[in-house]
Amino acid sequence: MSGDIVGAWDVSLSDGVYRIEFEHGTTTGKRVIYINGKEVLRRDWMFKLVGKETFPVGSTDTKATISIEAITGFSYEYTLDINRKSLQTFLYNRSKMSKTWVLKLGGADYRVNMLCILYCPTTLETHFAVENHECCIKATSSGRKRNGIVHSLLVDGIRIEEAIE
């Protein structure tokens, strides 16, 4: 990567967190996109300095778009959209629809991601194992319609804090 990085974003998807970096040559129009340090798109000598670049992210090929807009003179603004939503809106909606926990077991890092259950009249438990550790995701009604379901992850009976992303 060269020194023309003008934008960097961390995007949390169901299969991991991706670091997206954008390089823009404001005199040549060059555009380079890196995901986790690996070059995924390059356009050299673009005559149009503004515009959009769309590319896939993650194992599910989530659609990402970087927009380049001129502000004044040679100043530019760079924004990232994920699935046609601003990054902030995408992350907010995702946090309402899924839960993520990050933990270390047996020296390895694990990421547990779950799509949320919309309605649960009682407690629902999903049991699984990771590295010989007993894991359980509990979905319990909050008792309030507006708050919906409360999800928690237990590993060997110990509650794991939800990851903030």
Domain that holds residue 20: 5-83
Amino acid 78: pLDDT: 92
For 41-110, give the secondary structure using H, E and C: EEECCCCCCCEEEEEEECCCCEEEEEEEEECCCCCEEEEEEECCEEHHHHHHHHHHHEEEEEEEECCEEE
Amino acid 52: pLDDT: 93
> Is 91 inside any structural domain?
no
Q: Are residues 79 and 10 in the same domain?
A: yes
Q: Are residues 35 and 70 in the same domain?
A: yes
Domain boundary among 83, 110, 143: 83
Amino acid 147: pLDDT: 63
Does pLDDT of 55 surpass 80? Answer: yes
